[in-house]
Each structure stands twice: as structure tokens, then as C-alpha cells.
Amino acid sequence: MSLKVSNLSFSYGNKHALDRVTFELSPGFTALLGPNGAGKSTLYALLTRLITTTGAQISVAGHDLQTAPRAALGAMGVVFQQPTLDLDLTVSQNLRYFMALHGLHGRTARDRMDAALTRLDMAERAHEKVRKLNGGHRRRTELARALLHNPQVLLLDEPTVGLDAASREAITAHVHALAAGGMTVLWSTHLTDEVRPEDQLLILHRGALLAQGTAADITQGRPLKDHFLSVTGAEV
Amino acid sequence: MNWLAPFCAIVAREGLRFVHQRERFVSALVRPLVWLLVFAAGFRAALGLSITPPYQTYITYETYIVPGLCGMVLLFNGMQSSLSLVYDREMGSMRLLLTAPVPRWWLLLSKLVGSTLISITQVYAFLGIAALFGIDVDPLGYVAVFPALFVAGLMLGALGLALSSFIKQLENFAGVMNFVIFPMFFLSSALYPLWKMAESSELLHDICAANPFTHAVELIRFALYAELNLPALGWIVLALVVFGGLALWGYDPARGMARKRG
């Protein structure tokens, strides 16, 4: 299993954010669907070790996040919900900075950067300052960056927030293609139209997993939006 | 995993950020120069200084406060970098740094060294302008002061780092200015020697003597005359260990920099 989470609980004071969450992901696209406040961002903060907790086990590409954090973090690419680009640097400076943080430099770094930017149609913007890019291009840059170190697991926390329909569609399609190529993808969203029937689906509500399986199996032929509304009572 | 590449990248990014903020450089220079050229000029008549080490002769008040103003540059810059860390955290770029596959203490140390080197550049620019106004030291002093500035800068930067881990929002930064920077600066030997302080209040003297910033200033003062003030160095190293430990604790993932998020 590429990403294994067992018995993950977390509280902010008295408020339970996650309650004994357990799941295993294999290569492919898994959508984590949950309304706002379901605990998705807390789960991502725990998966990326921004925060830790006791009594749980998280394993990334066979590396335990608790006992071998560096190997586990090195095997994952992350696109956070919040933008994490330095606006005053160019696209290529941002990517080079990230690669250096992952110990990559020199020719290898240059080759990977060129390949990543070409793959996402960003090559001609390499020397533009991020501040000048629109939201869609910024997100693409972040996605290109998350792939630079060839991670086995890609975590995206609501990556399409604030994007127009075309950019949203382009990014969703690209990440589905990456998953089809053998990458393990965990894509969190509260938008049901980003999930395809063949995708693996986790529904998170009030910190607990309500369902896991393929989207088609879970919905049993009903539109996902209706199913999601009925189990969470949330506005989609 | 190569640790040097992240170190160089973080230091270089601090440098780039500094280059992009020219107004920060100007304000970092203007502040001590105003003190040196305006405050000190007016104050020299009011304060008589006797000969105390490392000075061998009577000195002007301007000469006396130069080390304190070097310390002021380091202190403000240490706090400035702590402000930038809080900003980074609010803006999200801190997440990128903290999820790098490198030990957290190494990331924080890299950040600290980067911001300290920026501070030192500013101090040398200040010393250069002071020299143009005739307030200079022996050339050897300019070399000898580098390690003193480095260790003092690390200590004050570590204080900023520790504070940044406890400050939850940018808006709270004004409080840091009021409760950390000004007391540290005024309750030190930056503007007046400790013996002068003792004449007015023993208690204030004792507080000044315990203030790590006093020792930073004294280490710099002696180093400018190519002398080592060992007790000051000891204090600074001790404070560095304490502040560094606090910063590490503050940024420990088990404590959680993102705990406020739901």
C-alpha cells in the first residue's frame, strides 16, 4: 500500500477534528470528499507532519512518518490549499528553491524543472514572476513543483479552490492522468463534479470516515451530489 | 540526502528577499544613523564618560554608542525576520519549508544563519557610513567584529525565531516591538555604560547586567578594538542555547504550528 493511515485521531482542545480515521490507498486516484470543516485540512496537516499525534500510524510508500519522517516526506508531493509560492520570485526560482530543499541541484534539477514545466504547458512562463501569473497558472506551477522529486504519493488539499472552470477541469484531468500512470493520489475536495465514477472515494464528515470504495459502488447509481448531500446534510 | 543544498537555498532566499525589499535596507540604516548623528550629538554634552575598557582614552559619546547601534541593527533585524516567519506561516510558504525532508532544526538553523548574514551586511554598511563621519576604529577591529556580530546575530535571531513560534497572528507583532525590542534596547549598555545606570538605580543596573542584549553590545564593543570579552561571549552562548531550544520546542510538530486550523 502506498499510503496507509490507521487509527488517526486529533483534537483542537475539546473539539474532535478527526476520529479514528483508517484507510489504505493503492496507486490511482482517490478523492477525499467532505464538507467544509469535515477535518480534511487537519488530515493533510497530519499526513505532511506539520502536526503530529500519538496512537496513530501513517505510512507513506512503506516509510513510517513517525519513525522515518524524512524518507516519508521525500516520497510525497504536496499541493496545499493555501498558496505556497513566493510571489516575488520567478517560476523557475520557486522551483529551484523547492528542489534544493529536497537535495536536488545542478543538471538533474534543471532537467527535471524543464520537464515538469513542459508537461504543464508552463515552459514559456519560467522566467515570469509569480505575482504576474493568474490563479490557474499559479496552481499549475505548484503542481509542477510537487512532482519535481518524482514522488510516489501526491497529496492535494482542495487544489481547485478559487479557479475558473477551465483551469479546474485542466488540473483535475492532469492529476487523473498522473494517477492512471501509477501515482497514488489523494485529492481532497468538497465539489462532487471533480470525482469520476471509477475513482476511489473517501467521504469524511465531522472527522469520521462515512464511506470508502469506488464512487460508483458507494453511490449505487445515484448522482454523487445527491448521495453526498443525503449522508452529510451539507450544501454542495 | 544532501543537507548543504537546502542550507544554501534557504540562505540564498533570505538574500533574495532582502534584495527585493530595498526599503528594509534603507530603514535598517536610517534608524541607527539618526541615533548616531542626531541623538548622540545632542546627548554628548549631557553625559560624561570616563575611561573604561576597552577604551584607552577619553572617547566621544558617538564612539561609545556605535557598538550599541550595531546591536540595534541586529536586534531589529532579528525581530524583522521573526515577523517574516509569522508572515510566511500566514501565507503558507512556511508549510513548504517544514515539509522538506530535512530535520527541522537544520531548516531553522539555515534560516537563522541566512538572516544573521543579512544583518551583518547591514551592520557593515552602517559602520561604513559612520566611518565617513569620522567615527571609525582600527581596520583590525572591522575584521574582529565579524564573529562577534555573527554569534550575537544568531542569538537575537533565535529569540525572534522563538517569538515567531508563539505569535499566532501578524497583528500581534506590534506587541513584540513594545515588550521586547524597546526594553531590551533601553535596558542595556547600548546607550549608557552600566556604571552610569548603577548611579541611578541598582535594580535597573542588575536588570541591564542580566539582559543578553547588553552582552551582545559588549562583545561587539570589545571586538571592535580586537579584544575578546569572554564573559559576554559566555552569556550570549547561554542565551543562544535557551532561545534556540525554545524555538525548536515552538516549532515541534507535536506542538503543532497549524493547530489553530480546523
User: What digits encode the pLDDT tens for the residues A42-66?
Assistant: 999 999 998 888 889 999 999 999 9
Q: What is the pLDDT of residue B87?
A: 75
Q: In this complex, which of B92, B254, B260 lies closest to A80 when CB atoms are compared?
A: B92
Do B101 and A93 make contact, defined as CB atoms within 8 angstroms?
no
Q: What is the pLDDT of residue B258?
A: 42
Q: What is the pLDDT of residue B19?
A: 84
Whether the complex's predicted ipTM is more than 0.85 is answered with no
Q: What is the pLDDT of residue B260?
A: 45
What is the C-alpha separation between A91 and B187, in angstroms, rounded?
Answer: 46
Q: What is the pLDDT of residue B231?
A: 95
Amino acid B40 reads: A
User: Is the model's pLDDT at B253 over the cut of 80?
Assistant: no
Q: What is the pLDDT of residue B81?
A: 80
Pairing of the two strands A15-25 and A76-79: unpaired
Amino acid A46 reads: L
- Beta-carbon contacts of B178 under 8 Å, excluding residues fewer than 6 positions away, are none
What is residue A194's DSSP assignment?
Answer: G
Summarised one tens digit per residue, pLDDT across range B199-223 is 888 899 999 999 999 999 999 999 9
Answer whether B259's CB lies under 8 Å from A12's CB. Answer: yes
User: Is the model's pLDDT at B42 over the cut of 70?
Assistant: yes
Do A48 and B262 make contact, defined as CB atoms within 8 angstroms?
no
What is residue A19's DSSP assignment?
Answer: E
Q: How far is B203 from chain A (nearest CA, A)?
A: 41
Answer whether A138's CB lies under 8 Å from A83's CB. Answer: yes
Averaged pLDDT for residues B159-183: 79
Q: Work out the end-to-end distance of chain A between its first and last CA atoms, rounded to an integer number of angstroms.
A: 31
- Beta-carbon contacts of B172 under 8 Å, excluding residues fewer than 6 positions away, are none
A to B CB pairs, distance under 8 Å: 100
Averaged pLDDT for residues B180-192: 90
Q: Does A104 touch chain B (CB under 8 A)?
A: yes
3-state secondary structure string, B196-223?
HHHHHCHHHHHHHHHCHHHHHHHHHHHH
Q: What is the pLDDT of residue B262?
A: 32
For residue A88, the surrounding DSSP H or E stretch is: none
Q: What is the pLDDT of residue B45?
A: 66
Averaged pLDDT for residues B159-184: 79
**Lowest mean pLDDT across A90-94, B10-14, B45-49:** B45-49
What is the C-alpha separation between A101 and B107, in angstroms, rounded?
Answer: 9
Taking CA–CA distances from B93, the nearest residue in chain A reads A84
Q: Does A50 touch chain B (CB under 8 A)?
A: yes
Do A51 and B256 make contact, defined as CB atoms within 8 angstroms?
yes
Q: How far is B154 from chain A (nearest CA, A)?
A: 22
For the record, the C-alpha cell of A125 comes out as 512562463
Taking CA–CA distances from B4, the nearest residue in chain A reads A103
Residues of chain A with pLDDT under 50: 236
Q: How far is A101 from chain B (nearest CA, A)?
A: 4
Q: In this complex, which of A51, A88, A105 lies closest to B5 when CB atoms are compared?
A: A105
Amino acid B131 reads: A
Is the model's pTM score more than 0.90? Answer: no
Q: Determine the distance from the C-alpha atom of residue B241 to the mean position of all C-alpha atoms in its chain, rounded to a whole number.
A: 15
Residue B222: φ, ψ to 5°: -70, -40
Q: Does A42 touch chain B (CB under 8 A)?
A: yes
Answer whether B184's CB lies under 8 Å from B213's CB. Answer: yes
pLDDT over 90 percentage in chain B: 43
